[in-house]
Amino acid sequence: MAGLIDMSNTNVAKYGVVGNPISHSKSPAIHQAFALQTQQDMCYKPFLVSVDGFEQAIADFISSGVSGVNVTVPFKEKAWAIATKLSKCAELAGAVNTLSFKDGDIFGDNTDGLGLVNDLKNNYGFDFEGKTVLVLGAGGAVRGVLGPIIQENPASITIANRTLSKAEQLKQVFAKDYSISTSGFSDLDTRFDLIINGTSASLNNELPPIPEVVVGSHSVLYDMMYSNQTTTFNQWGQALNAGNTIDGLGMLVEQAAEAFYIWRAIRPATHEVFAKLRSQ
Ligand code: NDP
């Protein structure tokens, strides 16, 4: 029956999410909801894999007929390395969050960036075209979202990071596609239309030390972290009367929808799933 989770049933397509830790992951609930909604005969389970056991786990999945897995911390770079074919987005991201196993190949994709872009465009009506974008942070998450943001043709992209050299490295990675500006936090001196917090500062209830001048009454603030309370970054934006403050729960749901589409060639509706997660 569509959507029932039974890995021993050989008649359903098998998927999962691989990480360490994994018990906190919302991906099984999201994909189960998508499977029921779209009547797909599939199952999706969380898999806890030891930090040095990723490659063996993938080999075991393939031999046991698993069709694909999502990959989360700390395996996204290992998934990139193990893939035999990469999407352009994943290639530039240097990390993979969606693996598909087919005809002896391991296809690697990265749907995090499209997840963020789709959340902003489809759920909040944000049009990137001609907008000024400030991205805070230069870690794995930021590298993953830059490609899809560039595709949306914003007027400018500025990366500001605590360690400036990491922002410079990212600028070089995307140099063929877009001329990104870089900055230290304290050197920022203009307003931006969109400010994306891709630092992990919010995880510790900290704020990247950026000047208030970057926030105007029209600015949209997007914290890639999500929480059942307003994140520290978004509290800061609200205190400055920013135009809107959004957290990364929608990005999580939208990146899952993209992965589901890659695997099943059917695009699930995301609103209900998002609303259910938000209410929990
Ligand atoms: P990384 O560890 O790869 O990078 C962390 C970044 O944060 C670095 O740029 C680091 O700067 C910066 N940073 C850390 N602490 C501070 C601080 N106190 N002040 C200023 N900058 C700081 O992490 P990820 O890129 O993997 O993750 C970043 C965030 O994105 C996390 O909050 C994560 O939860 C979120 N995320 C959300 C997703 C979603 O679906 N919603 C998907 C993926 C990630 P430096 O280079 O100087 O060390």
pLDDT at 202: 84
Ligand 1 atom closest to 255 (CA):
40
Instruction: Assess whether the C-beta atom of 186 lies below 6 angstroms from ligand 1.
Output: no
- 197 CA to centre of ligand 1 in angstroms: 8
pLDDT at 211: 98
Instruction: Assess whether the C-beta atom of 163 lies below 6 angstroms from ligand 1.
Output: yes
- 47 CA to centre of ligand 1 in angstroms: 24
Ligand 1 atom closest to 248 (CA):
41
pLDDT at 33: 98
- Residue-wise pLDDT tens for the chain (280 aa)? 333 344 566 689 999 999 999 999 999 999 999 999 999 999 999 999 999 999 999 999 999 999 999 999 999 999 999 999 999 999 999 999 999 999 999 999 999 999 999 999 999 999 999 999 999 999 989 999 999 999 999 999 999 999 999 999 999 999 999 999 999 999 999 999 999 999 999 889 999 999 999 999 999 999 999 999 999 999 999 999 999 999 999 999 999 999 999 999 999 999 999 999 999 8
Quick: pLDDT tens for 115-168.
999 999 999 999 999 999 999 999 989 999 999 999 999 999 999 999 999 999
Ligand 1 atom closest to 166 (CA):
46
Q: What is the pTM of this model?
A: 0.94
How far is it, in rounded angstroms, from Cα 89 to Cα 109?
Answer: 7
Instruction: Assess whether the C-beta atom of 255 lies below 6 angstroms from ligand 1.
Output: yes
- 28 CA to centre of ligand 1 in angstroms: 23
Which of the residues 14, 45, 76, 171 is marked catalytic?
A: 76
pLDDT at 9: 65
* Probe residue for ligand 1, chosen from 199, 222, 251, 253 as the CB with the greatest number of ligand atoms within 8 Å: 199
Within 10 Å of residue 184's Cβ, how many Cβ atoms?
A: 14
Q: Give the residue whose CA is nearest to atom 19 of ligand 1.
A: 208
Region of residue 39 (left: phi > 0; alpha: psi -120 to 50; beta: else):
left
Nearest-10 Cα torsion for 227, 229, 234, 235: -150
- 14 CA to centre of ligand 1 in angstroms: 31
Q: Give the residue whose CA is nearest to atom 13 of ligand 1.
A: 199
76 belongs to the catalytic site: yes
Calculate the CA 79 to chain-centre distance: 15
Cis before residue 74, ω within 30 degrees of 0?
Answer: yes
Q: Is there a contact between 95 and 80 (Cβ–Cβ < 8 Å)?
A: yes
Q: Is there a contact between 250 and 257 (Cβ–Cβ < 8 Å)?
A: no
How far is it, in rounded angstroms, from Cα 207 to Cα 25?
Answer: 25
Ligand 1 atom closest to 141 (CA):
25
